[in-house]
Amino acid sequence: MTRLSTAVDPRAPEYAAARGAALERLAALDAEHAKALAGGGEKYTARHRDRGKLPARERIELLLDPDTPFLELSPLAAWGSDHPVGASLVTGIGTVEGTECVITANDPTVRGGASNPWTLKKALRANEIALQNRLPLISLVESGGADLPSQKEIFIPGGALFRDLTRLSAAGVPTVAVVFGNSTAGGAYVPGMSDHTVMIKGRSKVFLGGPPLVKMATGEESDDESLGGADMHARTSGLADHHAVDEHDAIRRARRIVARLEHRRAHPAPPAAEEPLYDAEELLGIVPEDLRTPFDPREVIARIVDGSDFDEFKPLYGSSLVTGWARLHGWPVGVLANARGVLFSAESQKAAQFIQLANQRDIPLLFLHNTTGYMVGREYEQGGIVKHGAMMINAVSNSRVPHLSVLIGASYGAGHYGMCGRAYEPRFLFAWPSAKSAVMGPQQLAGVLSIVARQSAAAKGKPYDEEADAGMRAFVEAQIEAESLPVFLSGRLYDDGVIDPRDTRTVLGLCLSAVHNAPVEGARGGFGVFRM
Ligand code: COA
């Protein structure tokens, strides 16, 4: 066995400082998560319950197998926008009748469950996860359709929602729609495009146009039930496969549908694995408050992989990037983790080789980010840092094994790309509250702007206003700092959620289980031309 040792000392002052900062960030994060959990707030939740309806998260809870986890995704969607945190939609992965599924549920307490641009992004991300990982998709529908004031942002791209449902079906990934209330206009295509539908007596309303619209269009007098009630769809139109008497009955029927899917995962779950040797609690004391202070990512690896057992690959070469093999909840993984921040040519070449090896062996990759980017400077440019960085990015781009990324510290510049940032389509990407991501650090970015402005003034023969420069720097630094924070980035759906570091092993275990529903097959060749 190759057990990692630890140098973390929970009595050291730097540990206490890091832990104190982490707990403060977690408290702030909890306050933001609480906004998503509160949905439309007390008034609308009470009204919803008074109507005899269950809130979105309770519907999900009843759908899931008892005492099984729900990995909620993008809970902070829409943070920092004009729309409520959570984007009036709950999405995540959970187990129904022993089958892992992607579940989406409109939150009807938030503006009638209407979809705004962030709701759309969140829903499309859920669809993508279902397709990539071959997870059945269950939609718990109750929505006022498009958020009308922001229709210009969603109407045209929103067609992808219905396209995805039918593409999932075509790919053999089952889709189930349970309609709890309104599902009108475009929303009618959610049940319309799903493989299986459940509607509820007196509750479901599934029609292209409601009574007022029909009156306007054709002059016909009609009512909700005859246009789109569960009775009508179950007996007359045939759109409802199941006619449920109430919400609980509808959820019970959805569970039976999933039980009969006979959906088989590509790789069976491994047997229970050994826990790490070190306490996950200590993950709070590892990342220093100031990200410029280096830390050893092996301390993180030691607290997330099975038995803290890690076979390091090329430890003496390119030592700013730690690479090696481990298991996590029994699933094999290749880990790439930044140490000391900067990626040099050797690290890039080592990463490219390691990624190729993982592809030869069909082993998923885990990227732990703490990088300020690729090294700059004459010596490094002359040493070929561009072509070596390109080599690493080529390997990441064309690798076909599932990738998981966790931003634990800095994730700046092209380093974010090389370490499989969001645009490189990792199957899942999470951030710790300590993470920061941007084109570069705030001071560096403000400094670069200042140098450019100074040169521009000199070229025009104008004097440079030092006072204005200091003001500009302070303003830009504050702006970039705010835009680098995980809550801001999560609001924009640039990750799948900000997680408590102590939950990392559990979250990654759930993700690895999810990705193994689809065949894990690496690329044998098929990389771009490696510039040597
Ligand atoms: N866009 C923007 N806001 C919407 C909305 C939509 N599509 N649907 C509802 N809202 C808002 C309402 O204006 C209301 O805001 P307020 O409380 O600040 O006044 C809030 O959401 C709750 O709506 P309310 O009508 O009180 O809730 P309800 O549960 O009684 O009814 C609906 C929900 C969805 C049935 C009803 O609001 C409705 O019919 N909305 C329009 C549906 C539609 O035609 N959408 C276009 C489809 S493309």
Confidence of residue 108 (pLDDT cuts 50, 70, 90): very high
For the domain that residue 336 is a member of, what is the CATH number? 3.90.226.10
Q: Is the CB of 146 under 6 A from ligand 1?
A: yes
pLDDT over 70 for what percent of the chain? 100
Q: Is the CB of 110 under 6 A from ligand 1?
A: no
Q: What separation in Å is there between the alpha carbon of 141 and the centre of ligand 1?
A: 14
Mean pLDDT rounded to a whole number for the chain: 96
Average pLDDT over residues 244-261: 98
Q: What separation in Å is there between the alpha carbon of 119 and the centre of ligand 1?
A: 15
Domain end (from 207, 224, 259): 259
Q: What separation in Å is there between the alpha carbon of 182 and the centre of ligand 1?
A: 10
Pure H helices in 3-116: 13-38, 42-50, 56-63
CB of 143 closer than 8 Å to CB of 115: yes
Residue 471 lies in a domain: yes
Q: Is the CB of 114 under 6 A from ligand 1?
A: yes
pLDDT value of residue 441? 86
Residue 490 lies in a domain: no
Query: Atom 43 in ligand 1: which residue has the minimum CA distance?
Result: 144
Dihedrals phi, psi of 312, to nearest 5 degrees: -75, 140
Q: What separation in Å is there between the alpha carbon of 437 and the centre of ligand 1?
A: 37
CA 110 to ligand 1: nearest atom: 21
Q: Is the CB of 228 under 6 A from ligand 1?
A: no
Pairing of strands 321-328, 331-338: antiparallel
- Structure confidence by residue, pLDDT tens digits, 53-75: 999 999 999 999 999 999 999 99
pLDDT value of residue 186? 83
Query: Atom 33 in ligand 1: which residue has the minimum CA distance?
Result: 112
Q: Is the CB of 142 under 6 A from ligand 1?
A: no
Residue with token string 């990995």: 71
Q: What separation in Å is there between the alpha carbon of 383 and the centre of ligand 1?
A: 61
The DSSP 8-state label assigned to residue 234 in this structure reads: I
Residue 292 in this model has a pLDDT that exceeds 80: yes
pLDDT value of residue 488? 97
Q: Is the CB of 158 under 6 A from ligand 1?
A: no
- Structure confidence by residue, pLDDT tens digits, 399-447: 999 999 999 999 999 999 999 999 999 999 999 999 999 998 899 999 9
DSSP code per residue over 452-505: HHHHHHHHTTPPP-HHHHHHHHHHHHHHHHHHHSHHHHHHTTSSS-B--GGGHH
Q: Quick count: other Cβ atoms within 10 Å of Cβ 62?
A: 16
Q: Which residues contact 35 (CB under 8 A, 6 or more apart)?
A: 84, 85, 86
**How many domains, in total, are found in the chain?**
3
Domain end (from 259, 282, 312): 259
Residue 492 lies in a domain: no
Do 142 and 239 lie in one domain? The reply is yes
Do 217 and 315 lie in one domain? The reply is no
Q: What separation in Å is there between the alpha carbon of 424 and the centre of ligand 1?
A: 37
Instruction: Tell me the pTM.
Output: 0.96
pLDDT value of residue 532? 83
Residue 428's DSSP bridge partners are 404
Q: Is the CB of 186 under 6 A from ligand 1?
A: yes
Q: Is the CB of 111 under 6 A from ligand 1?
A: yes
Query: Atom 27 in ligand 1: which residue has the minimum CA distance?
Result: 112
Average pLDDT over residues 313-341: 97
Residue 1 in this model has a pLDDT that exceeds 80: no
Q: What separation in Å is there between the alpha carbon of 326 and the centre of ligand 1?
A: 51
Q: What separation in Å is there between the alpha carbon of 282 and the centre of ligand 1?
A: 47
Nearest Cα neighbor of 394 from 424, 366, 439 is: 424
Cα pseudo-dihedral 255, 256, 261, 265, rounded to 10: 40
Residue 321 lies in a domain: yes
Q: Which of 180, 182, 214 has the most ligand 1 atoms within 8 A of CB, as the residue to mutate?
A: 182
Residue 162 lies in a domain: yes
Do 319 and 412 lie in one domain? The reply is yes
Do 19 and 85 lie in one domain? The reply is no
Domain end (from 198, 228, 259): 259
Do 187 and 284 lie in one domain? The reply is no
Do 311 and 182 lie in one domain? The reply is no
Residue 222 lies in a domain: yes
Q: Six-digit token pair at 195?
A: 């493989």
Do 389 and 523 lie in one domain? The reply is yes
Do 453 and 422 lie in one domain? The reply is no
CA 213 to ligand 1: nearest atom: 44
Query: Atom 23 in ligand 1: which residue has the minimum CA distance?
Result: 112
SS (H, E, C) 433-460: CCCEEECCCHHHHHHHHHHHHHHHHHHC
Q: What separation in Å is there between the alpha carbon of 113 and the centre of ligand 1?
A: 8
Query: Atom 20 in ligand 1: which residue has the minimum CA distance?
Result: 111
Assign 142 to helix, strand or coil.
Answer: strand
pLDDT value of residue 340? 80
Dihedrals phi, psi of 394, to nearest 5 degrees: -60, -45
CA 181 to ligand 1: nearest atom: 35
Query: Atom 47 in ligand 1: which residue has the minimum CA distance?
Result: 145
- Structure confidence by residue, pLDDT tens digits, 519-532: 999 999 899 999 88
Residue 44 lies in a domain: yes
Do 229 and 340 lie in one domain? The reply is no
Q: Is the CB of 250 under 6 A from ligand 1?
A: no
Do 273 and 415 lie in one domain? The reply is yes
CB of 129 closer than 8 Å to CB of 135: yes
Average pLDDT over residues 10-14: 97
Query: Atom 40 in ligand 1: which residue has the minimum CA distance?
Result: 144
Domain holding 444, by residue range, is 440-484
Nearest Cα neighbor of 190 from 106, 279, 81 is: 106
Do 392 and 451 lie in one domain? The reply is no
Q: What separation in Å is there between the alpha carbon of 45 and the centre of ligand 1?
A: 14
Q: What separation in Å is there between the alpha carbon of 409 and the centre of ligand 1?
A: 41
Residue 327 lies in a domain: yes
Do 194 and 296 lie in one domain? The reply is no
Residue 214 in this model has a pLDDT that exceeds 80: yes
